[in-house]
């Protein structure tokens, strides 16, 4: 039986994540008249349209979906079906981390850069810490005893 065909080159590996940009000066679509939304929900409307994720939306096509999500948020005691709709819309609009990960997008970094844990020393560095000959090779250290220099014999000749 023949082996399966290899995957095409474009399908291999992980593609790099696209970093979204801040949208502080983005235009916020006006809410339709007649909506009795709380001040908190109006603030949400402004912030969601200024968020970096909004760069992935088409204001004409996604306006209704964002409006529907806002209306669902206003329901005081949502049922399981309403919560499922909210979760689905949040995912479709890339408003949760797992949806952004699946779409290969990341939000811009806020604050100082991430501090990573120190890495383990390489094998050469660990060996240099144990074997004095390796330390001499790595650092070209000239040692002395009581002020009398010891010749550097790392290359096999006196210097």
pLDDT of residue 146 exceeding 60, the answer is: no
CA dist., res. 93 & res. 65, Å (int):
8
pLDDT > 70 in the chain, percent: 74
pLDDT classification of 145: cutoffs 50, 70, 90: low
Residue-level pLDDT at 128: 66
**144-145 and 148-149 strand pairing:** antiparallel
H and E: helices and strands count for the chain: 6, 4
Summarised one tens digit per residue, pLDDT across range 7-49 is 765 656 667 778 887 777 778 888 888 888 889 999 999 999 9
**Alpha helices for 2-118 (secondary structure H):** 39-50, 59-73, 80-92, 97-102
pLDDT of residue 141 exceeding 50, the answer is: no
Summarised one tens digit per residue, pLDDT across range 44-69 is 999 999 989 998 998 889 999 999 99
List the Cα angle 41/107/44 in 5-degree steps: 5
């Amino acid at each position: 039986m023949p082996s399966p065909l290899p995957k095409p080159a474009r399908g291999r590996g992980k593609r790099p994540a696209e970093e979204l940009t801040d949208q502080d000066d983005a235009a916020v679509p006006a809410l339709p008249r007649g909506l009795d939304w709380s001040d908190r929900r109006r603030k949400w409307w402004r912030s969601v349209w200024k968020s970096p994720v909004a760069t992935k939306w088409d204001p004409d096509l996604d306006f209704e979906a964002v409006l529907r999500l806002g209306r669902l948020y206003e329901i005081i005691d949502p049922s399981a079906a309403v919560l499922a709709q909210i979760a689905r819309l949040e995912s479709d609009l890339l408003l949760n981390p797992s949806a952004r990960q699946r779409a290969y997008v990341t939000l811009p970094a806020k604050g100082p850069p991430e501090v990573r844990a120190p890495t383990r020393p390489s094998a050469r560095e660990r060996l240099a810490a144990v074997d004095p000959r390796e330390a001499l090779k790595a650092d070209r250290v000239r040692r002395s005893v009581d002020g009398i220099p010891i010749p550097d014999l790392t290359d096999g000749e006196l210097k």
